[in-house]
């Protein structure tokens, strides 16, 4: 088997296009390492040392050079798609993102003043360019959020949210 066939079988290179090239691959790699350190390492001294190293890499490479925030505390499912890389994506540390979710650039997942809760995005959701998801809302399975929408209320399954503030539209 040739080198290129072997490299194509690696999951890293199979997801190359889905993660938006090298930027998305690096961001997700650093996020997954930080997530493992945060949730799986139980030895206190080792956890502190690894956490310091992770935070330095996160600050200097991910936040400054790649201009995004993927904190290790958030929970991201498998097969996250970042078609344009992770440019400008800001994620609250308490956000939950399901499997097979597509997120375009300049998306913000944040808290609002009243609820102090983070959004939850279910499986197979599609989040358009520049969307803002604020508060303890739930984006349902197979739902879509349009470009530049400001979502303040939950979106049911199989629906689309568009506008500022967003309005849910039946499919």
- The C-alpha atoms of residue 90 and residue 1 are separated, in whole angstroms, by 41
Predicted local confidence at residue 20, as pLDDT:
61
Give residue-wise pLDDT tens across range 94-131.
999 999 999 999 999 998 877 779 999 999 999 999 99
Among 146, 11, 138, 17, which residue's Cα sits nearest to residue 82?
17
Distance of CA 1 to the CA centre of its chain: 35
Predicted local confidence at residue 66, as pLDDT:
86
Predicted local confidence at residue 23, as pLDDT:
80
- The pTM of the full predicted model, rounded to 2 decimals, is 0.82
pLDDT for 18 beyond 70: no
- Exposure b/e, 115-150, CB count within 10 A at least 16 = b: eeebbbbbbbbbbbbbbbbbbebbbbeebbbbeebb
């Amino acid at each position: 088997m040739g080198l290129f066939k072997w490299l194509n079988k690696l999951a890293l290179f199979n997801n190359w296009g889905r993660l938006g090239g090298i930027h998305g691959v690096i961001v997700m790699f650093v996020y997954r390492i930080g997530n493992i350190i945060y949730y799986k390492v139980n030895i206190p001294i080792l956890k502190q040392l690894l956490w310091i190293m992770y935070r330095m890499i996160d600050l200097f490479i991910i936040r400054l050079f790649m201009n995004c925030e993927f904190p290790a505390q958030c929970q991201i499912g498998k097969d996250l798609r970042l078609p344009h890389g992770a440019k400008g994506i800001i994620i609250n540390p308490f956000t939950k993102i399901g499997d097979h979710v597509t997120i375009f650039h300049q998306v913000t997942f944040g808290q609002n003043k009243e609820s102090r809760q983070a959004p939850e995005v279910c499986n197979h959701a599609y989040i358009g360019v520049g969307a803002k998801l604020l508060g303890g809302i739930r984006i349902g399975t197979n739902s879509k959020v349009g470009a530049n929408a400001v979502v303040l209320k939950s979106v049911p399954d199989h629906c689309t949210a568009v506008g500022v503030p967003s309005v849910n539209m039946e499919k």
